[in-house]
Amino acid sequence: MSEQSRLEIWKTYKIYIGGQFPRTESGRSYAVKNAAGKTIANVCQSSRKDVRDAVSAARAAWGGWSNRSGFNRGQILYRIAEMLEGRKKQIKDELIAQGYTSAVATREINLSIDRLIYYAGWCDKYQSLFSSVNPVASAHYNFSVPEPMGVVGLLAPQKAPLLGVISLMAPCIAGGNTCLILANQEQPLAAVSFAEVLNSSDVPGGVVNILTGYQEELTDWICAHLDVNAVVCYEQGELDWQKMQEKGASHVKRMFRWPATQLYAQGGQSPYLIMDLQEIKTTWHPVQTIAGSGGAY
């Protein structure tokens, strides 16, 4: 069959929950358009029940993921970067289809891969860097150690369709959290393709869940969900930050808004962003040798 007469097979862009690629339970979809206003794909318009399912999947995956060694999490983040390297062309094509120039698309992907590598390196280091042994006036050791918060809701910015997702996700999972990500609403294709990368990168199902849909519809449900421990977004006009904080206040959800200007800059990656999604646990441990106990015995 000649190339001309062959009917091209188009990809169905689905959501990513618990290591599976279901369609939204609502059965809804919306059209993704290119710069010229032409429809280039239909994607799932996720519902609050998809949010709920994603949170359940993230919660189920949390125990295993947070208990992995930092070293192992680092290996897996590195693996994601390796896999993404191999999918460069596909994602670049998708970015170009949505109006990016070839040079900008290449830069976005390269920065994304480098950012993954950056956080892969931090996985087994941030804990020792940010832990402390605290002086106390009794025969105890006193340690403060960062521990992952749990399930985190990540609202991707309405620019940088791939880098935005990765800049939120990488510090979150590097620190042992699991997450659900609401992809860029107008340009979600790269995020969905990135889910396919995740699915082939040794990331256990449920650690990262990616939904596509309307930010205005789903933000409140994510912020009000009692089983989501933290929410992170970038500064952007479309989000009603005060309302989000009110929704999260009833159960003291941790809410973060990272500066959007940093997305492409060096400051867009930092171990302090890992630390935003950590709780500090302080432990008292009795000193066990008499010699070491000083005068207190």
Partner 1 sequence: MAGKKPAFNIQILNHSTVEQTGVEERAIRFTKRSIKGASKMQGLHMVLSMIDLTTLEGKDTPGKVNQLCIKARHLHDHIPGLPSVAAICVYPSMVSVAKKALQGSTIKVASVATAFPSGQSSLRIKLADTRFAVEEGADEVDMVISRGKFHAGEYAYVFDEIAAVKEACGKARLKVILETGELGTLDQVKKASTIAIAAGADFIKTSTGKIQPAATMPVTLVMLETIRDHFYKTGKKVGMKPAGGISKSKLALHYLVMVKETLGDAWLDKQLFRFGASSLANDVLMQVAKETLGHYQSPNYFSID
Nearer to partner 1, 52 or 159 (CB): 52
Q: How far is the CB of 207 from partner 1 (least distance, A)?
A: 19
Nearer to partner 1, 32 or 54 (CB): 54
Q: How far is the CB of 182 from partner 1 (least distance, A)?
A: 15
Nearer to partner 1, 139 or 224 (CB): 224
Residues that bind partner 1 (CB under 8 A): 48, 51-52, 55, 221, 224-227, 247, 251
Q: Tokens 């590097």 — which residue?
A: 174
Q: How far is the CB of 53 from partner 1 (least distance, A)?
A: 11
Give residues with Cβ within 8 angstroms of 8, minimum separation 6: none
Q: How far is the CB of 246 from partner 1 (least distance, A)?
A: 12
Q: How far is the CB of 259 from partner 1 (least distance, A)?
A: 29
Burial 262-289 (b: 16+ CB within 10 A, else e): bbeeeebbbbebbbbbbeeeeeeeeeee
CB 169 within 8 A of CB 154: yes
> Nearest-5° angle of CA 220, CA 62, CA 235?
35
Q: CA dist 51 to 18, 48, 70, 228, Å? A: 12, 5, 28, 10
Nearer to partner 1, 27 or 286 (CB): 27
Nearer to partner 1, 23 or 48 (CB): 48
Q: How far is the CB of 209 from partner 1 (least distance, A)?
A: 15
Tokens of 239: 């989000």
255: amino acid identity, one letter: M
82: amino acid identity, one letter: E
HSE-CB of 86 using CA atoms within 13 angstroms: 10
Nearer to partner 1, 51 or 233 (CB): 51
Q: Count other Cβ atoms within 10 Å, centred on residue 259.
A: 11
